[in-house]
Amino acid sequence: MMREALAHLDDTPRVKRLLLELGRFYNPVADGPVIPPATRHEVIDRLEAADVGAARALLEAQLAEYLKIDEPPASSPEPSRGAQ
């Protein structure tokens, strides 16, 4: 849905509906909604101000954050073993 929103930034009502729906889904990496309300409002404000580039940048940043869910966890270093 986020990619669909990015593909249709010229259709503000459609983007509004998509972002509202995305706000209902949980992102365990961010421990919050896929699209936080503040981000949703900022994107819509940018679109209504005809600043499509800024709206796109916000959505792309949010998509990149969401895609971290597929990244393997960072491995922690092996615990050092003290001299015995």
Chain segment 53-84, per-residue pLDDT in tens: 999 999 999 998 888 766 655 665 555 555 55
Buried/exposed code over 14-24 (b: 16+ C-beta within 10 A; e: otherwise) = ebbebbeebee
Domain residue ranges in the chain: 2-70
Q: What is the pTM of this model?
A: 0.77
Q: Is 38 exposed, middle or buried (0-12, 13-18, 19+ CB in 10 A)?
A: exposed
Rounded distance between C-alpha atoms, residue 63 and residue 78, angstroms: 32
pLDDT in tens, 27-42: 887 788 989 999 999 9
Instruction: Quote the pLDDT of residue 40.
Output: 96
pLDDT of residue 29: 75
DSSP 8-state assignment for residue 66: H
Cα torsion 5, 9, 13, 15 to 10°: value is 20
